[in-house]
Structure 1
Amino acid sequence: MNNQTLVKRDLAVLWHPCSQMKDHEQLPLIPIKSGQGVWLEDFNGKRYLDAISSWWVNLFGHCNPVINHAVKAQLDTLEHVILGGFTHRAAVELAEKLVEITPSGLDKCFYADNGSSAIEIALKMSFHYWRNLGINRKTKFITLENSYHGETLGALAVGNVALYKETYAPLLMDVISVPSPDCYNREVGESWSDYSIRRFAEMEQTLARHADSVCAVIVEPLVQCAGGMRMYDPVYLKLLRQACDKYHVHLIADEIAVGFGRTGTLFACEQAAISPDFICLSKGLTGGYLPLSAVLTTDAVYRAFYDDYQNLTAFLHSHSYTGNALGCSAALATIDLFQTRDVLGSNRRLAAALAKATERFKSHPHVAEVRQTGMIVAIELVKNKAGREAYPWRERRGLLVYQYALSQGVLLRPLGNVIYFMPPYVISEAEIALMAEVAWQGIQLATGV
């Protein structure tokens, strides 16, 4: 087997995600044979540093021996069983662990298969909760501009990135959107905190006007990832929690991309010292091994569904692979790595190395901003630095960086004109330096400097 043979077979039968397939007439697919740590290797022996954790899922490196062992051991006893009316050890132990490690008050766990499904569950649970209480007028959701919550129809509706949403607008429920606290747009000299507080005023006004018809507010805590890795201050979450309590509206925290240590704390909500009414988890939950998601919620929500069957208040939502034993075992091993090693301490050192390696990007004539939250660094390319004039999207400057990086053995996948690093937590400082140098050279090429 070689790269060319597998690519030919692939293009004959496969339709790839988030891709314009015609691009692959000029942009060859990269077939991967194996992975180890932060490195992927193709069938011709070329290696690629996985700078984006394979779409933000891989926390502890490819073929991690601890997670490998857990999945292999589970495979010898039980691969899967229906979770309706049945249970198994791994599902119970993982739910116990998630209740233990998530913000206080999140005492019940509902499993699904992926991040979008977790969002659907949280939306439906919130709506259904109010209905079970006899409050039928609450049918709306408030979301932030530039937010992203997934590709299924409910998740897409509460997202706000036009590239993903516009085509399907006729299929989607109406939501209420408010301006994002995204600190890229702050005034010169204005702090992240001050800007986020200022932006919260519009959320407060919206809640005051619409609280009677709103089920929940849904946000990505601290970082709007698919929206260009735009970031904001934790004070916004603190104010939002207070306002949701004041106006009797649920708070849904979408920590699918930012949970499990990515922002510097185990969960991003911790930086605001808040507990949401729902927290949605996936991606890093299994260390990047298997599809699994979970929604954690409160006993108060759970009790609203707990009733005699004939009253028809049950949450009749299911997925065939709910609580899959293999996925739960991978997740247990992932959490065990956090609890037996100083992962967050190590990440602080790696985050400092990322900051140092990207310091010089700040002075680049076509970089408007270098921003960082924990183990996420984003570099925003612009045509004009002084006026922050964006490059026309049709020029696909980020794609040029992507292509150059691949030629140098680094997997970057820019979001438009935003180059970002979101590497596995096992990356070394030398590998961070390599990753940053390749990105620098790619940006030089893409901007004609």
Structure 2
Amino acid sequence: MSLIEKDHKYIWHPLTQHQHEQPILPIKSAQGVYLEDVNGKKYIDGISSWYTAVYGHCHPKIVEAIQQQVQQLDQVVFAGFTHQPAVGLAEKLIAILPEGQSKVFFNDNGSTATEIGIKMALQYHFNLGNKRTTMLAFENGFHGDTFGAMSVSGLSVYNGAFEQHFIDVKRIPVPTDENIDEIKQQIEHIHQETPIAGFIYEPLVQGAAAMQMHKAEHLDKILAFCKAKEMVLIADEVMTGFGKTGKNFASDHMMTKPDVICLSKALTAGMLPMGATTCSQQIFEAFYDQDIAKGLFHGHTYTANPLACKVASAAIDLLLSDEIQQNIQAIIGWHQAFAKTIEHHKNVKSVRQTGIILAIDLATEFSRYGNFRNKIYHFFLDKGIYLRPLGNTIYILAPYVIKSSEMLDIYNVIEKFLNNYLEDI
């Protein structure tokens, strides 16, 4: 029985309707920006494997970090114990996070990072005796697959079967120059009817909503308005964190800083699963009490796993290196130049960019999960480029170590697609 046959027999893949399943690709190895399948064909990983492997696959410094740590301490429960990898990572995180972050709560993945952020906001007000049980979130946001995270997400295609079980959430549109005052009025009205505990938001880029983007100056006004009403601001930086917007964190672009930040994905450079939820001292102090019930009773078996902590620490060192910082700026420049060459193409509806994220909306409409989208996906794979279109949006979020020639390969295939896609697929 082949690998593919065994996969079909035993495995249930994520985000997959198996009755409509397309051919899957067996990968045997990865190095730098390349994935290699079992037949030896290589593919440029144009989305950093869901925004995680931003320093490339199997980066030697990341590999060295895990090799050293696995010989000393692999795993220990984090309730009642601590260790240097966790303390060292927390110290490094606080040093580079936006101003005001004070404590790090380790967890397992992006969904649980946001889940804990939501719990922090709700319990913060509960502990203070405030009757605030409603959360505020953007329309079309996505924050994960656990129940709290689903509650504040706005993509019903993911969550429709569970909506009757959700916490109370009110939604607002992303801010633009035209709707700022209207959004403020909407928030004011909601807050008067049902006081809002916290506002969770994807700063600057809504990833699952086809990389929809909004401006820092507009978001800043909404954040300041919510902050003045003592709402807990929760920045979901699971996707945007660690350099993708041109700064270390998307929240660095705003004057109003979050009270809570949710992290994962690039945190461990794509090497191991891990998440972290950080918060201000003010948030922490609402849980610091003689009353045990006021503590944050949330935990995971692999919380602060030493291997993941060591890898994350090495990843931060890479992020701060001159080489990576220069590469990030180079990618931004390449994207800007490429965007100008295609923005008026007959098959391009619009082009947008934030940092190293470039999104191209096609001048056509089709189902987000339909057969046409799958044909586009395989068009790029056939030509050695791994991209995952979001509906009629093609986007690039490549590793920071990509070379100009490799990025040019991506651009060239996208141009070929734009010039010939109706005929080719």
Query: Do they superpose with TM above 0.5?
Result: yes
Q: TM-score range by the shorter chain?
A: over 0.9
Asked whether 1:208 is paired with 2:188, we answer yes
Asked whether 1:419 is paired with 2:394, we answer yes
Question: Take 1:448 and 1:222, find their aligned partners in 2: how far apart are those partners?
Answer: 35
Structure 2 residue aligned with 1:94? 89
Per-residue displacement from partner, 1:354-405 (whole Å, max 9, x unpaired)? 222343321222211011111100010133xxxxxx3355754332221111
* Partners of 2:170 and 2:190 within 8 A in 1: no
Structure 1 residue aligned with 2:138? 144
- When residues 44 and 178 of structure 1 are mapped into structure 2, their CA distance, relative to the original with a 3 A threshold, is same
Asked whether 1:199 is paired with 2:179, we answer yes
Structure 1 residue aligned with 2:9? 12
Q: Could you tell which deviates more after superposition, 158-167 or 339-348? A: 339-348
Question: Take 1:396 and 1:162, find their aligned partners in 2: how far apart are those partners?
Answer: 20
Q: Gaps spanning 5+ residues in structure 2: where? A: none
| Residue in structure 2 matching 1:115, options 99, 110, 120 | 110
Per-residue displacement from partner, 1:199-238 (whole Å, max 9, x unpaired)? 2223311332233611111110000010010001001232
For residue 129 of structure 1, report the CA deviation from its aligned partner.
0.7
* Partners of 1:211 and 1:249 within 8 A in 2: no
Q: Gaps spanning 5+ residues in structure 1: where? A: 182-195, 384-389
1:423 is paired with a residue whose SS is: coil
1:248 is paired with a residue whose SS is: coil
Q: Note the 1:25-104 alignment, pairs <5 A.
A: 27-104=22-99
* Partners of 2:105 and 2:277 within 8 A in 1: yes
1:413 is paired with a residue whose SS is: coil
Q: Note the 1:349-360 alignment, pairs <5 A.
A: 349-360=330-341
- Amino acid of the residue matched to residue 328 of structure 1? C
- When residues 307 and 394 of structure 1 are mapped into structure 2, their CA distance, relative to the original with a 3 A threshold, is closer
Structure 1 residue aligned with 2:374? 399
| Residue in structure 1 matching 2:148, options 154, 173, 184 | 154
Q: Could you tell which deviates more after superposition, 417-426 or 331-340? A: 331-340
Structure 2 residue aligned with 1:233? 215
- When residues 392 and 365 of structure 1 are mapped into structure 2, their CA distance, relative to the original with a 3 A threshold, is farther
* Partners of 1:286 and 1:334 within 8 A in 2: yes
| Residue in structure 1 matching 2:264, options 257, 278, 282 | 282
For residue 348 of structure 1, report the CA deviation from its aligned partner.
1.2
| Residue in structure 2 matching 1:429, options 404, 409, 417 | 404
TM-score (norm 1): 0.91
Percentage of identical aligned residues: 38
* Partners of 1:53 and 1:424 within 8 A in 2: yes
Question: Take 2:222 and 2:236, find their aligned partners in 1: how far apart are those partners?
Answer: 14
Asked whether 1:379 is paired with 2:360, we answer yes
Structure 2 residue aligned with 1:128? 123
For residue 350 of structure 1, report the CA deviation from its aligned partner.
1.4
Question: Take 2:369 and 2:275, find their aligned partners in 1: how far apart are those partners?
Answer: 35
Question: Take 1:101 and 1:319, find their aligned partners in 2: how far apart are those partners?
Answer: 25
Question: Take 2:9 and 2:240, find their aligned partners in 1: how far apart are those partners?
Answer: 36
Structure 2 residue aligned with 1:163? 157
For residue 302 of structure 1, report the CA deviation from its aligned partner.
0.7
Question: Take 1:78 and 1:113, find their aligned partners in 2: how far apart are those partners?
Answer: 18
- When residues 396 and 382 of structure 1 are mapped into structure 2, their CA distance, relative to the original with a 3 A threshold, is farther
